[in-house]
């Protein structure tokens, strides 16, 4: 059977990245879902020209809520959920990789892909590398939680039961969002969201790592 892939994105003021993102996911996606959270630039216009439809949701200072809005519209067996400033180095490898995975590792329900953070303000130098979940099975109860540094959870509990597959360089992503021109504003935003969430949380320990990381980077 033909594998069906949904590419999802939440976006705000991503006019400089959105066309590249659309080109990238068009290589493998059967369905492309963009949820705009309040752009004041050309983001929506570009999406509407290309896809005919741009969804909107009210920004509530909560990345998980916005992502779940997009996820609720996805009909594919697999979801590829990247950021507007992330792209696959070999987008044409994605479909074949997932088809192979589905046939040979049927228990895997989420994929950790290798990601390089590159600084476009410094000769595209690699700042660091990480493994991040950007691909997962749809319709099995996976949803995001967390206003910032959102994580996948299964059936509303935690990540117990999520079976991760570590992808190789075929699914290599590059990300420009930590480049010099963006990083301070992004860190300040994350700090505000973290502090807001900690005020509401019954237990704050799980936020300490992200808080320390943010302060260190600032």
How do the pLDDT tens digits run along the chain, 218 residues long?
579 999 999 999 999 999 999 999 999 999 999 999 999 999 999 999 999 999 999 999 999 999 999 999 999 999 999 999 999 999 999 999 999 999 997 899 999 999 998 887 788 888 788 999 999 999 999 999 988 888 999 998 888 899 999 999 999 999 987 766 777 888 888 899 899 989 998 888 988 998 998 898 88
With vertex at residue 99, the alpha carbon angle to CA 116 and CA 76, rounded to the nearest 5 degrees, is: 85
Nearest one of 123, 115, 113 to 179, comparing CA atoms = 123
| pTM for the model | 0.86
Nearest one of 130, 156, 161, 134 to 145, comparing CA atoms = 156
CA–CA distance, 173 with 90 (Å, rounded to integer): 8
CA–CA distance, 42 with 54 (Å, rounded to integer): 12
**How many CB atoms neighbour CB 143 within 10 A?**
16
CA–CA distance, 46 with 18 (Å, rounded to integer): 7
With vertex at residue 86, the alpha carbon angle to CA 82 and CA 91, rounded to the nearest 5 degrees, is: 80
Cβ(33)–Cβ(73) below 8 Å: yes
């Amino acid at each position: 059977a033909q594998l069906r892939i949904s590419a999802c994105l939440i976006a705000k003021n991503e006019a400089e990245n959105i066309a590249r993102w659309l080109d990238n996911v068009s290589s493998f996606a059967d369905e492309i879902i963009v949820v705009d959270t309040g752009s004041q630039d050309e983001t929506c216009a570009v999406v509407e020209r290309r896809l005919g439809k741009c969804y909107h949701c009210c920004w509530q200072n909560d990345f998980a809520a916005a992502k779940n809005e997009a996820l609720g519209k996805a009909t594919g067996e697999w979801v590829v959920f990247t950021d507007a400033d992330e792209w696959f180095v070999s987008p044409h490898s994605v479909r074949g990789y997932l088809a192979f995975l589905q046939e040979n590792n049927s228990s895997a329900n989420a994929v950790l892909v290798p990601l390089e953070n590159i600084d476009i303000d410094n000769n595209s130098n690699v700042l660091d590398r990480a493994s991040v979940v950007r691909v997962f099975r749809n319709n099995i109860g996976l949803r995001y939680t967390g206003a910032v540094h959102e994580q996948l959870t299964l059936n509303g509990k935690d990540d117990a039961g999520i079976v991760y597959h570590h992808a190789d360089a075929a699914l290599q992503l590059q990300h420009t969002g930590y480049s010099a021109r963006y990083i301070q504003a992004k860190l300040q935003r994350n700090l505000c969201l973290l502090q807001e969430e900690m005020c509401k949380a019954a237990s704050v320990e799980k936020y300490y790592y992200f808080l320390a990381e943010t302060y260190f980077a600032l």
